[in-house]
């Protein structure tokens, strides 16, 4: 046995290396899309940090104060994220990882196993924060012409800053798994995380940050900053990180806060090591116990579905899909986030102040009606890629049951389509009708929006269902992986193209109609034909998108094997 603990991390690197060597179709597109988006976000963060710091240079003491406050808040935000991420990562690396069954019976000293798992946890919990924080700190340093010591301090600050919340996360996980079975703990955590995200989205939106851009509300800005001060406490690592970096920015070395960061990181690591030695094996053993799982029976579902006029096989598929979805915490909990996003979506239109430009109001409202249509369609596409696209892949290795049964694969795929289509149609219609109502748009546009989104939903859900069948990933661990696969990315690209084309095909004739109606002029027969042609083309495009995707999906399923 090789002595150093990094040996145990090698399979991780080898797997990553092998993944990059074995190219799958669409890897280039995916790498370009994700890599490009990542670089764009990093670039934007750098530019914002640089610009803000540059602007604050003019305000001397106030500028310094705001930078110091901003640094503290930046790290405070990330502190909670890394701590939560640490809890989830530790659950996976210390308890749920498949390779533990191989490593625990091997003659690996406990300390080596701990250090390898702890390194993995810190890496998994902290990489995203590092990726976000570094461009910000770089922008800050360059705008303030910081000395080289600042960049060294940045590295020396971020490392212990990530270790501290990760170690705390590990401690919480060890405690949790000592009480709950590991898989139950994962469900509880998933739900907590999601509720946290929902609360954050709602909180940020309902604070109405756009008010800060309004010149008339300047006194509010002062009050806003005043509220930011209170929670920052000198006992948190975020404060120490902010202070160390602020000192380094001015060419000083704040040994007190740097020392506090490093000693806390080391002390917590030692503490986690001790807790691991004492509790891990018993907690891991407990996680292996085959307990009868608690679950909701949904006894009302079978008789309810039996009322629907459909074949027995379709009924069986529908009941199965609903029960599997509703019993999987990682699945149904996503609905909470969806509800929060829908609320924010409608709320955005409620607070939109279009009356500020009275003479433009009608025109702006009409334009917004189409922006709204496009946005509702994007939301539909996003929901479809998360819930409908992975529907076939969700059968996983159990797909043999359907494939060896006397059920046509077309019936199977249509069943998946209907299960997804109806709830998404209700959501899309509700979003479009409610937001158009709040905007107060023309009745003609309201009707056009309601019909338009119905056809667009049909096309988008059909596209997601068909492409999901064409690019299945039966070995995927969760639906998010399926949605992020080559097929998922290709679906989003096609969906965006479809949405833009359809909105253009609807907006052009609608604008002609409204322009004529506004001026009280009759629409000429030629124009009428053009309007009908454009609307017909939008309808035809939707039906063709739906039909061809579903047909290709059925053919792909039939050709499996």
**Using CB under 8 A as the criterion, which residues of the chain lie in contact with another protein when the complex forms?**
290-293, 295, 297, 302, 306, 311-313, 315-317, 319-320, 323-324, 327-328, 396-398, 400-408, 559-561
**Smallest distance from the beta carbon of 328 to another protein, in angstroms?**
6
**Smallest distance from the beta carbon of 479 to another protein, in angstroms?**
13
Closer to another protein by Cβ: residue 388 or 402 = 402
Transcribe 267-297 into DSSP letters.
Answer: HHHHHHHHHHHHHHHHHHHHHHS-PPPP---
Phi and psi torsions of 357, nearest 5°: -115, 80
Closer to another protein by Cβ: residue 15 or 478 = 478
Closer to another protein by Cβ: residue 215 or 312 = 312
**Smallest distance from the beta carbon of 397 to another protein, in angstroms?**
4
Closer to another protein by Cβ: residue 106 or 312 = 312
**Smallest distance from the beta carbon of 313 to another protein, in angstroms?**
5
Closer to another protein by Cβ: residue 327 or 362 = 327
**Smallest distance from the beta carbon of 299 to another protein, in angstroms?**
10
Report how far apart, in Å, the C-alpha atoms of 143 and of each of 8, 46, 47, 243 are: 42, 10, 10, 18
Tokens of 551: 């047909």
Element (H, E) at 68: helix 60-90
Transcribe 494-545 into DSSP letters.
Answer: HHHHHHHHHHHHHHHHHHHHHHHHHHTPPPPHHHHHHHHHHHHHHHHHHHHH
Dihedral sign of CA atoms 32, 38, 42, 43 in order: positive
Residue 444: name the closest of 506, 503, 502 by CA.
Answer: 506
Closer to another protein by Cβ: residue 68 or 552 = 552
**Smallest distance from the beta carbon of 185 to another protein, in angstroms?**
15
Closer to another protein by Cβ: residue 213 or 299 = 299
First to last CA, the chain: 42
**Smallest distance from the beta carbon of 403 to another protein, in angstroms?**
6
Tokens of 350: 């409620």
Residues 37 and 15: their CA atoms lie apart, in Å, by 24
Closer to another protein by Cβ: residue 305 or 530 = 305
**Smallest distance from the beta carbon of 195 to another protein, in angstroms?**
22
**Smallest distance from the beta carbon of 477 to another protein, in angstroms?**
13
**Smallest distance from the beta carbon of 319 to another protein, in angstroms?**
7
Tokens of 3: 């002595």
Tokens of 191: 């739900």
**Angle at 450 (CA atoms; ends 444, 452), nearest 5 degrees:** 95
Residues 507 and 518: their CA atoms lie apart, in Å, by 16
Closer to another protein by Cβ: residue 21 or 292 = 292
Residues 362 and 511: their CA atoms lie apart, in Å, by 12
Can you give the C-alpha Rg of the chain in angstroms?
Answer: 28
Closer to another protein by Cβ: residue 253 or 398 = 398
Transcribe 455-496 into DSSP letters.
Answer: HHHHHHHHHHHHHHHHS--TT-SSHHHHHTSHHHHHHHHHHH
């Amino acid at each position: 046995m090789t002595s150093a603990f990094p040996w145990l991390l090698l399979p991780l690197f080898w797997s990553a290396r092998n993944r990059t060597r074995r190219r799958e179709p669409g890897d280039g597109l995916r790498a370009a899309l994700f890599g490009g988006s990542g670089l764009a976000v990093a670039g934007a963060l750098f530019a914002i940090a640089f610009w803000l710091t540059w602007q604050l240079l003019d305000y001397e003491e106030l500028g310094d104060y705001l930078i110091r406050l901003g640094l503290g808040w930046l790290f405070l935000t990330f502190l909670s994220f890394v701590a939560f991420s640490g809890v989830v990562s530790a659950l996976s690396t210390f308890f749920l990882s498949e390779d533990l069954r191989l490593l625990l019976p091997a003659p690996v000293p406990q300390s080596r196993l701990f250090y390898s798992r702890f390194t993995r946890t810190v890496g998994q919990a902290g990489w995203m924060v590092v990726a976000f924080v570094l461009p910000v700190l770089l922008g800050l340093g360059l705008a303030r012409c910081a000395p080289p010591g600042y960049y060294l301090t940045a590295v020396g600050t971020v490392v212990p800053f990530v270790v501290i919340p990760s170690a705390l996360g590990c401690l919480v996980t060890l405690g949790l798994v000592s009480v709950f079975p590991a898989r139950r703990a994962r469900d509880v955590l998933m739900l907590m995380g999601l509720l946290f995200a929902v609360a954050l989205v709602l909180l940020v939106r309902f604070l109405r940050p756009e008010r800060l851009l309004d010149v008339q509300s300047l006194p509010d800005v002062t009050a806003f900053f005043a509220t930011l001060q209170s929670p920052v406490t000198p006992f948190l690592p975020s404060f120490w990180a902010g202070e160390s970096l602020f000192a380094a920015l001015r060419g000083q070395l704040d040994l007190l806060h740097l020392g506090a960061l490093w000693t806390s990181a080391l002390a917590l690591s030692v503490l986690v090591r001790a807790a691991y030695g004492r509790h891990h094996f018993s907690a891991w053993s407990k996680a292996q116990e085959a307990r009868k799982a608690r679950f909701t029976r949904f006894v009302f579902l079978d008789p309810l579905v039996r009322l629907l006029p459909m074949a027995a096989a379709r009924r069986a598929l529908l009941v199965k899909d609903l029960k599997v979805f509703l019993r999987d915490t990682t699945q149904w909990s996503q609905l909470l986030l969806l509800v929060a996003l829908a609320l924010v979506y409608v709320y955005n239109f409620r607070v939109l102040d279009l009356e500020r430009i009275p003479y433009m109001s009608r025109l702006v409202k009409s334009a917004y009606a189409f922006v709204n249509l496009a946005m509702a369609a994007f939301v539909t596409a996003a929901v479809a890629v998360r819930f409908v696209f992975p529907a076939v892949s969700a059968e996983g290795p159990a797909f043999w049951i359907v494939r060896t049964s006397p059920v046509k694969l077309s019936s199977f795929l249509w069943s998946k389509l209907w299960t997804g289509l109806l709830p998404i149609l209700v959501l899309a219609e509700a979003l479009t009708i409610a937001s158009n109502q709040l905007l107060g748009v023309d009745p003609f546009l309201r009707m056009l929006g309601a019909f338009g989104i119905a056809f667009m939903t049909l096309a988008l859900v059909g596209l997601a269902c068909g492409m999901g069948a064409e690019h299945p990933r039966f070995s995927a661990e969760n639906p998010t992986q399926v949605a992020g696969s080559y097929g998922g990315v290709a679906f989003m690209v096609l969906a965006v193209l479809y949405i833009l084309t359809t909105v253009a095909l609807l907006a052009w004739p609608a604008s002609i109609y409204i322009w004529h109606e506004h001026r009280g002029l009759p629409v000429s027969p030629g124009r009428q034909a053009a309007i009908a042609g454009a609307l017909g083309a939008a309808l035809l495009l939707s039906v063709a998108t739906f039909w061809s995707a579903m047909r290709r999906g059925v053919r792909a399923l039939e050709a499996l094997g």
